[in-house]
Amino acid sequence: MKPYRTERIKNGIKFTCTQCEHSVSTLDFDAKVGNLRTQAATAINQHATQAHHEPPTVSSLDVQLRAWRA
């Protein structure tokens, strides 16, 4: 289970921690650095890990990509 929930907001997506009210949105990040959803998900996962000691989530696609690259 993901440590966050998502919702559409005007011009972006909001990621909210399932354990508290902490949130980030894709509007908080710079597209020049990379994918906005990835940056927001990474930030909320880091919050969950640090604040709530939740293990980071790994998508099945990420596991498949790592296996393919190996």
d(CA 44, CA 22): 8
Structure tokens at 49: 């890990």
Q: How far is residue 6's CA from residue 47's CA, in Å, rounded to a whole number? A: 15
Low-confidence ranges of the chain (pLDDT < 70): 55-70
pTM recorded for the entire structure = 0.74
Predicted pLDDT of residue 33? 93
What pLDDT is attached to residue 56?
60
Domain spans in the chain, listed from the N-terminal domain onward? 4-69
- Which strands form 12-17's sheet, in the order they lie side by side? 4-9, 12-17, 23-25
pLDDT at 60: 47
**Integer Cα distance of 69 and 15 in angstroms:** 29
The pLDDT of residue 63: 47
